[in-house]
Amino acid sequence: MGTKEAGDARAAELGLLPSSTNPNKQMSEKPNYALKFTLVGHTEAVSSVKFSPNGEWLASSSADKVIIIWGAYDGKYEKTLHGHNLEISDVAWSSDSSRLVSASDDKTLKIWDVRSGKCLKTLKGHSNYVFCCNFNPPSNLIISGSFDESVKIWEVKTGKCLKTLSAHSDPVSAVHFNCSGSLIVSGSYDGVCRIWDAASGQCLKTLVDDDNPPISFVKFSPNGRYLLIATLDNTLKLWDYSRGRCLKTYTGHKNEKYCIFANFSVTGGKWIVSGSEDNLVYIWNLQTKEIVQKLQGHTDVVISAACHPTENIIASAALGNDKTIKLWMSNY
Amino acid sequence: MEGDGSDPEPPDAGEDSKSENGENAPIYCICRKPDINCFMIGCDNCNEWFHGDCIRITEKMAKAIREWYCRECREKDPKLEIRYRHKKSRERDSNERDGSEPRDEGGGRKRPAPDPDLQRRAGSGTGVGAMLARGSASPHKSSPQPLVATPSQHHQQQQQIKRSARMCGECEACRRTEDCGHCDFCRDMKKFGGPNKIRQKCRLRQCQLRARESYKYFPSSLSPVTPSESLPRPRRPLPTQQQPQPSQKLGRIREDEGAVASSAVKEPPEATATPEPLSDEDLPLDPDLYQDFCAGAFDDHGLPWMSDTEESPFLDPALRKRAVKVKHVKRREKKSEKKKEERYKRHRQKQKHKDKWKHPERADAKDPASLPQCLGPGCVRPAQPGSKYCSDDCGMKLAANRIYEILPQRIQQWQQSPCIAEEHGKKLLERIRREQQSARTRLQEMERRFHELEAIILRAKQQAVREDEESNEGDSDDTDLQIFCVSCGHPINPRVALRHMERCYAKYESQTSFGSMYPTRIEGATRLFCDVYNPQSKTYCKRLQVLCPEHSRDPKVPADEVCGCPLVRDVFELTGDFCRLPKRQCNRHYCWEKLRRAEVDLERVRVWYKLDELFEQERNVRTAMTNRAGLLALMLHQTIQHDPLTTDLRSSADR
């Protein structure tokens, strides 16, 4: 890293780079993610990658019915969690980084203890593939969305389903808690995004755009005020949900078929990171909406891109032709 | 009667003669009265009617009579005898008569009132029947011939076959009188040597209209007469399998037209030469059996069927296969209904699973020539079916080669960069070590206190008793007030309050048990847990031994024992002095040594728990460290480093 900065400074002196007076400003304009590690090990398409909240581990779920834990900083293989009978669609960490929840096509979710590698509980209740899952910030609840068009809230301790929200009229593609755990957002193929009160299960708001393309991914922003909604018309939108207005739109990537994860990158510059069906990872500037970098290296659809909680690290995973996870690092 | 009785001329003549007397009502019996409102019995010879009262025959007796002749006829013709009926045949006869003989409308007959009673009267039927046969008197349109047959048919019960919920009384089956003896229901009957478990009427006698569908006659239900032990196994399930399906079929037919049902049932007996008309689900038995049946062979007692046992092995697989096939047909039908309602994806998934099941069959069917080549190094033999190798050796050789080639490279890759998880693990282990050490020192401290306490107690016991003014003071107070016990709620004298509450608490607490399956095995711990074994719940009591209300009883306090509690000034300062009151009287320091001991023991227990926890943590970390970078892990996973300079993605600040 030291060498790079020196190089930049020299280039600035030579007048090759604009606005050399303020290196910070330059740094915040574009990231320079470079490929550092390729993690090989899955035998089928990888469906999701997530960094642990303490930044030490990377969990990846795959269609080969296992979850693999890798070291986040060195990319080294740590362990494998076996137990599901069918493909796994999503995995999520608890806030203390000691537990994982995974959602699978075998209609169940499993709660894992990472340290021992054992499955602690199996959550049964959905009547079709479970597609997405998440912990709430206190990590005493799990929320799951499924192809049976419902969203279920589970209690971690007992494994029982506390509430079922008959949320949508099409498969639910994403569920997420906000940073305080009081709100739930759910998006579905029916083009409707709903915000629910976590305590009562009441639907507080419904966000529908003019035309309603299927929603493939939704997420709260880190401060809980905005929603990032990805739709299957090659568009990512940033919504202010309290006012019900779309603030920013990010395009340029390809997303018409798969539910591709998108993320806020806040460790360095403020970016929006998303995979794409043209095998690239797209990074947009959050404010200016322009594409600041495209990461090349995968040989299949990049289904998931995750941002490290403290470092400028991005992990990306691709589908069946590729089956690898790539770790990228940037200076800013 | 006299002359008219023996004459098979219309008995009306006899009656008419009576009417010459000037009364229009016909008269009967030896009493020559026209009364017909009581039970009457008719002579089968002279056809005269007699009151039961007059000749002393009750209705009940008459029921047992099949043929009855009046005294005069009997005297005249000694050949005539009263014939009684067999108990069972009486019922059968009555059934048969229901179907076979036409009902007496009674409307068109000359004899008026006897008609409703006719059904109940013994002997009336035949008399009337005979009368009807001659037909002149009554306009009853019935076919005479079958009625005037042999005396054995002169049933005294009505010719009408009784109708009931399950018998229409008119169909062929209802009219049958005898059990066939060969159907499954008959063979179950006691009289045919069966265990009487099924307890149903003969198949051929199940009413075609009203009987339960599954009881009705089907050719398949007629199984060979061979005793159950020698029945080959596949045959036995067959009747149960087939019944529901044909009955379903019939049931469906029934929905359309009720009449068709009876015809459908009648059809099988007639469909002799061609078994095809029966549905495929109607698994017919082996052709021999069927033909035998159709030839009316179930009158022959079982001989043709006996021979089938030899053929049974040959037939079993065929039958079994067909039986299995039927099951699949049913299941597939159900499945196809479900598919229409389910999503497309699930439909596809189900097919995928089915395909997966089919594949092994196909593999089995391969011939050796088309098997792929074994994957062993240098091996050109064909692989075993269902495997990639020709033998275990080849597989092992290939695996070994793989390991030799790939493993060194992977190990080198692994060691290129320091494993961060290892470092973390090591740090964690160190931390655990330190905590364990501090826990151990605490433990030693506790032990010391424990010994100290014991010494104090011992010393205190050696003190002599000394009465004090204090004790008297304590006694004079509080005699009027009443304290309520916290456990049982009863009011108690304050003087004995402490003791009572102690015992009361112990009583309630000892009703529950608190234990675990394992006895305590801690080295170096003298007295911690009670550890008394409870055989009922198979647990060891895990309360503190000094405190356990269930298992340790307070020893009786001798009168001269001194309290011995170390006295303190201002709560914390030890004066060095001891309470000299006799133990029995001292209320201020009641049970002090028990409580202090318990305090120390509890601390010790806490430290042990902590040590246990730390031990567990250490074990986890150690296993994680040893299992890291194992052979399987290295072979199956790989981390490719693209930037040789960057082995650790952490920014320098964190390192």
Contact B620 A40 (CB under 8 A): no
Phi-psi region of A295 (alpha: psi -120 to 50; beta: other; left: phi over 0): beta
Do residues B251 and B243 touch, judged by C-beta distance below 8 A? no
Please tell me which residue, B113 or B604, carries the higher pLDDT value.
B604
Query: What's the token pair of residue A326?
Result: 């790539």
CA distance B60 to B121: 10
Residues of B in contact with A76 (CB under 8 A): 414, 417, 419-421, 639
Distance from CA of B373 to the nearest CA of A (A): 24
CA distance B639 to B635: 11
Sign of the torsion angle spanned by Cα atoms B626, B631, B634, B637: negative
Contact B649 A68 (CB under 8 A): no
Those residues with Cβ within 8 angstroms of residue B479's Cβ, 6 or more apart along the chain or in another chain:
B493, B494, B495
How sure is the predictor about A325, in pLDDT bands with cuts at 50, 70 and 90?
very high
The ranges assigned to domains in chain B are 40-84, 181-215, 382-417, 423-465+561-636, 514-559
Range name among A71-75, A98-102, A180-184, B642-646 with the lowest pLDDT average = B642-646
Do residues B422 and B628 touch, judged by C-beta distance below 8 A? yes
Please give the pLDDT value at position B219.
62
pLDDT at B199 over 80: yes
Please tell me which residue, B97 or A101, carries the higher pLDDT value.
A101
3-state helix, strand, coil in chain B (%, to 5): 50, 5, 45
Please give the pLDDT value at position B576.
77
The pLDDT tens digits of the residues spanning A118-149 come to: 999 999 999 999 999 999 999 999 999 999 99
A-B C-beta contacts closer than 8 Å? 86
Please give the pLDDT value at position A145.
96
Please give the pLDDT value at position A284.
96
Please tell me which residue, B473 or A158, carries the higher pLDDT value.
A158
Mean local confidence (pLDDT), A62-82:
95
The ranges assigned to domains in chain A are 43-258
Please tell me which residue, B600 or B7, carries the higher pLDDT value.
B600
Q: Is A51 at the interface with chain B, CB within 8 A?
A: no
Please tell me which residue, B472 or B498, carries the higher pLDDT value.
B498
- Which member of A75, A79, A128 has the closest CB to residue B639? A75
Mean local confidence (pLDDT), B4-31:
56
Q: Is A311 at the interface with chain B, CB within 8 A?
A: yes
H and E: helices and strands count for chain A: 2, 28
Please give the pLDDT value at position A32.
93
Contact A40 B638 (CB under 8 A): yes
CA distance B374 to A75: 36
Mean local confidence (pLDDT), B398-425:
91
Please give the pLDDT value at position A171.
96
pLDDT winner (highest mean) among A137-151, B40-54, B159-173: A137-151
Q: Is A11 at the interface with chain B, CB within 8 A?
A: no
Q: Is A295 at the interface with chain B, CB within 8 A?
A: no
Please give the pLDDT value at position B368.
58
Please give the pLDDT value at position B184.
87
Burial A91-130 (b: 16+ CB within 10 A, else e): bbbbbebebbbbbbbbbbbbbbebeebebebebebbebbb
Distance from CA of A71 to the nearest CA of B (A): 7
How sure is the predictor about B210, in pLDDT bands with cuts at 50, 70 and 90?
confident
Contact B639 A313 (CB under 8 A): no
Query: What's the token pair of residue B36?
Result: 């017909």
Please give the pLDDT value at position B369.
65
Contact A38 B639 (CB under 8 A): yes
- Which member of B421, B647, B649 has the closest CB to residue A313? B649
How sure is the predictor about B33, in pLDDT bands with cuts at 50, 70 and 90?
confident
Distance from CA of A82 to the nearest CA of B (A): 14
Q: Between residues 218 and 277 of chain A, which touch chain B (CB distance below 8 Å)?
A: none
- Which member of A1, A35, A77 has the closest CB to residue B639? A77
Q: Is B641 at the interface with chain A, CB within 8 A?
A: yes
Contact B643 A36 (CB under 8 A): yes
pLDDT at B50 over 50: yes
Please give the pLDDT value at position A39.
95
Q: Is B630 at the interface with chain A, CB within 8 A?
A: no
Q: Is A69 at the interface with chain B, CB within 8 A?
A: no
Q: Is B534 at the interface with chain A, CB within 8 A?
A: no
Please give the pLDDT value at position B539.
86
Distance from CA of B622 to the nearest CA of A (A): 11
The pLDDT tens digits of the residues spanning B423-440 come to: 999 999 999 999 999 999
Distance from CA of B419 to the nearest CA of A (A): 7
Among A40, A51, A76, A310, most B C-beta atoms within 10 A, so best to mutate, is A76
Mean local confidence (pLDDT), B33-61:
87
Q: Is A78 at the interface with chain B, CB within 8 A?
A: yes
Query: What's the token pair of residue A249?
Result: 């739109």
Q: Is A75 at the interface with chain B, CB within 8 A?
A: yes
Residues of A in contact with B428 (CB under 8 A): none
Please give the pLDDT value at position B145.
44
* Rounded-to-10 torsion of CA B325, B330, B334, B335: 0
Helix axes B420-461, B592-627, angle to 10 degrees: 160
Range name among A232-236, A308-312, B20-24, B411-415 with the lowest pLDDT average = B20-24
How sure is the predictor about B581, in pLDDT bands with cuts at 50, 70 and 90?
confident
How sure is the predictor about B654, in pLDDT bands with cuts at 50, 70 and 90?
low
Please tell me which residue, B182 or A260, carries the higher pLDDT value.
A260
Residue type, B187: R
- Which member of B637, B646, B654 has the closest CB to residue A36? B646
pLDDT at B102 over 90: no
Mean pLDDT of chain B: 70
pLDDT at B194 over 70: yes
pLDDT at B42 over 80: yes
Please give the pLDDT value at position B465.
63
Do residues B262 and B208 touch, judged by C-beta distance below 8 A? yes
pTM for this predicted structure:
0.58
What number does CATH give the domain A43-258? Answer: 2.130.10.10
The pLDDT tens digits of the residues spanning A293-307 come to: 999 999 999 999 999
Distance from CA of A74 to the nearest CA of B (A): 5
Range name among A53-57, B108-112, B225-229 with the lowest pLDDT average = B108-112
Please give the pLDDT value at position B619.
93
Those residues with Cβ within 8 angstroms of residue B126's Cβ, 6 or more apart along the chain or in another chain:
B42, B44, B67, B154, B155, B156
Q: Is B651 at the interface with chain A, CB within 8 A?
A: yes
Please tell me which residue, B10 or A259, carries the higher pLDDT value.
A259
pLDDT at B506 over 70: yes
pLDDT at A235 over 90: yes
How sure is the predictor about B104, in pLDDT bands with cuts at 50, 70 and 90?
very low
Q: Is B346 at the interface with chain A, CB within 8 A?
A: yes
Q: Is A313 at the interface with chain B, CB within 8 A?
A: yes
Please tell me which residue, B529 or A8, carries the higher pLDDT value.
B529
Percent of chain B with pLDDT over 90: 10
Neighbours of B614 (CB within 10 A): 19
Please tell me which residue, B539 or B148, carries the higher pLDDT value.
B539
Among B642, B654, B655, most A C-beta atoms within 10 A, so best to mutate, is B642
Looking at the domain B40-84, which fold is it?
Answer: Herpes Virus-1 (3.30.40)
The pLDDT tens digits of the residues spanning B250-272 come to: 334 344 444 444 444 444 444 44
Contact B650 A76 (CB under 8 A): no
Contact A71 B419 (CB under 8 A): yes
pLDDT at A310 over 90: yes
Mean pLDDT of chain A: 91
Q: Which of these, B118, B123, B296, lies nearest to B219 by C-alpha position?
A: B296
Contact A74 B639 (CB under 8 A): yes
pLDDT at B144 over 90: no
Do residues A184 and A198 touch, judged by C-beta distance below 8 A? yes
Q: A323: nearest CA in chain B?
A: B637
pLDDT winner (highest mean) among A249-263, B286-300, B503-517: A249-263
Distance from CA of B653 to the nearest CA of A (A): 11
Please give the pLDDT value at position A71.
93
Please give the pLDDT value at position A102.
97
The pLDDT tens digits of the residues spanning B359-370 come to: 444 444 556 567
- Which member of A34, A41, A71 has the closest CB to residue B638? A41
CA distance A265 to A295: 15
Please give the pLDDT value at position A3.
46
Among A58, A77, A105, A146, most B C-beta atoms within 10 A, so best to mutate, is A77
Residues of B in contact with A115 (CB under 8 A): 620, 624
Residues of A in contact with B648 (CB under 8 A): 73-74
